Structure 1
Amino acid sequence: MLHRRFAKEERAQLCDRALDYFSEVDRPVPSNELVRVLFPRARLENGHGPQLLREVLRRDRRFQEPRNGTWDLIGARFHHLDLADARFCVVDLEATGSNPRRDQVIEVGIVVIEGLRITRRYSSLVNPGQRIPVWIRKLTGIDDSVVADAPSFAEVAPEIVDVLRDGIFVAHNVDFDERFLRGRLEAEGIHQPWWPTLCTVRLSRCLLTDQESYRLDALAEGLGIDLDQHHRAVCDAEAAAQILLHIVRDHAPELGIRTVGELLVSSRGSVRKQAS
């Protein structure tokens, strides 16, 4: 059973069954639970079920394994939500380094998009409780004196969670921002459910293939988007939000991308323009 190869039709049926189950339970699903759903009569040795599951689902871009041993439908609660009805929360963090276990946030910027327009901007400096490294000071312009009177991360964490509630977590290099923010929230005892995430770097690489560079500053310049203070959180979040709006307004319709689920899937691979 472990080394079994699935015919295209059988694989499609299993993926549809998984899709129905995700839609029914509306949450991430542990591998062993999903194995029982897809292979109710199979007798599998320990460890074989998850491997078999990967063989079925890994080629279907609707599914992801955000944590080892747990699967999710990409943006399950938003899969059929029209883009115009979605709430996107575009996040940028500035920090003392890249390790959420050791380093601290020094600035948070969040730009909220609803109805395909910006409806809110959240920005806060954060006192990290440690010296800001020289290279970070040079990069951001934020030094110890700038954050001396700023609130601690523990003080702003509830505000951040409130702003992000019921939204799609968007960032330019989302893996860093989401992982870092989640790590700092967990350090404060706040265990946040998994957000559906969207990366404007990957989305731009897939849908804006004519750009020379996908760095935030270069992409903003290429699209005529203002970025006045690069490496300041709310300014970078604003630029990433404008990039997302450019894609959703100007490119998604001609590619037949109408729902959040379709947009999330498109960021994981190439999309062909639909014939008119």
Structure 2
Amino acid sequence: MSVQAITWALDQECKTATDKAVLMVVANYVGPDGTTFVGQETIARQACCSIKTVERALAIFESAGWIVRERRHRRDGSRTSDLIISIGPNHPEKRAQDQTDNVSDRQAPNRQPVQTKQTTSPNLPDCVSGLTSFEPLEEPLGEPSPPKRADANARRGSRIAPDWTPSPECNAFAAREGLTPEETARAAAEFRDYWSARPGRDAAKLDWPATWRNRVRQIADRKRPAGAAGGAKTGGHRPQPVSMAGLLAERRRQAPIPPDVPGEGRILRAV
């Protein structure tokens, strides 16, 4: 990038803003020797215009005496980007000191940067006479965010393995719930086949040992007698239905007989 070329391009008067943008892009690629090999596709992309607009603008610049274009060909005879020579500004280097171009036999411009101020941060580009380069930063400014795909997969769970078998801890839990080794083996086979054949997202679980323990509890509850199943809540006694006649008879039996009423007959007052 030639600072002289950019400073000179800023002072030129163009008919349209698009022509000005094309001129600034070309000046940004001009080296200290006043030449550049930038292609028209690159100019059009950075100036936000079409290639036809770039061709028209370069023809205007050439007719105004601002640039000179020289056609270039590859060694196989095909066309490549033109050599653009900036005529307007004075450049510090001479073309006689240029290096050899590896695309054609023409001398290539020297692209050594001219640095006038050292920046304090290694993540920021060097400042050249108050202008900064438009090249992307090589290092990120902040710490990269950790990948979240593994956490998302963990929250979704996984399907049961085709060769799943209960672990020793799972077998011990089944034994504590009252299952025999034969019942545990049969329950494990049914558990594996059921979840292997179940389709959809419901077949993915976060904790398969916990799912197995829930299944063991269901089997153990079915094995317990009816009184034992209700004993945890009612003390082993199933509550019996109570009728109004039975309630009145019980109240009549427990109520004391008034001393002023002869015999055992009495009127039960409503409470």
The verdict on a shared fold, with TM-score over 0.5 as the criterion, is: no
The TM-score with structure 2 as length reference comes to 0.23
